[in-house]
Structure 1
Amino acid sequence: MFQNIFSEHLSGIRKELEDYVGKRIELLKLELVERLSKCTSSIIVKLGLMYFLLLFLMFLSLAGGFYIGELLHSNALGFLIIAGFYLLLAFLLYIFRSYLVERPVIRSFIKLFFESDKNE
């Protein structure tokens, strides 16, 4: 009789444990989907902003090249000066890439993936 009650009790505990593990797995899946969705939407928005900023910068560069070209009476020289400016920016970005790119990207991913952990 004691063994029968113990067996039933153990069976109940096993069933509850299986239910708990199954629900925990489902919760982890939902959290993963939420975080990946946030990450994907964040990337899409940032790519869209970068696209429009790139177009703005392109037209601003064209206007600057023509303006400097008028001042110097040589469009080629105006565009050469604009190109030199971008070369200098690229060089500075390469030198300071750790501070300007790598660290902010790492911080944003940490914030994105671990932000909900702070709320819990």
Structure 2
Amino acid sequence: MDKDLGQVFTELKDDLTAFVELKVEFLKLTAYERAGKWISSLSYVLALVVLGIFAAFFIFLALGFQIGEWLNSTSAGIAIVGGIYLLVIGILIMNKKWFTGKLTNSIIAALDDEENEPVQTSETINEGSAEDTPGTAS
């Protein structure tokens, strides 16, 4: 043999060290990617919620003024809309378990979909393009 046992173990140790370093780097990059996706999704949802709150506020404000015009009392119209808000709050409080359960399930489903994304390899990309091409037989 050209290599002695000490040299083989040294090369094995070097290869193992390189493998562990690459594995740690891969795990860090995977964590960064997940954090980035999570933060971008959270930002998107937050933007939608804020815009939705403003839209609902102005719609209900307009509704309050319209009801006030029908009743010849702006304060009565706004009070009726305030009562509608209180009714919705009461419904949400009474259905807290259902509401939080649905929200938790949708968050878990979103995270699970992110974990189970299929890995695109050159083989799966080529298979998909061959199946999508019209006139090709499988």
Q: Residues 117 and 11 (structure 1 numbering): CA distance in 2 closer, same or farther, change over 3 Å? A: farther
Q: Residues 114 and 26 (structure 1 numbering): CA distance in 2 closer, same or farther, change over 3 Å? A: farther
Task: Give the unaligned 5+ runs of structure 2.
Answer: 120-138
Matches within 5 A, 1:62-81: 62-81=61-80
Conservation of the 8 A alpha-carbon contact between 1:35 and 1:113: no
Q: TM-score, structure 1 length as denominator?
A: 0.84
The Cα of 1:109 is off from its aligned counterpart by 4.8
Task: Indicate the structure with greater helix content.
Answer: 1
The Cα of 1:43 is off from its aligned counterpart by 1.0
1:59-79 residue CA offsets vs partner (Å, 9 max, x unmatched): 111111011111112111111
Q: Which has the higher contact order (CA 8 A, sep 6+)?
A: 1
Percent identical among aligned pairs is 27
Task: Give the unaligned 5+ runs of structure 1.
Answer: none
Conservation of the 8 A alpha-carbon contact between 1:35 and 1:112: no
1:119 aligns with 2:125: no
1:93-112 residue CA offsets vs partner (Å, 9 max, x unmatched): 12223332454245325533
1:26-62 residue CA offsets vs partner (Å, 9 max, x unmatched): 0111111111111111111111111111111111111
RMSD: 2.2
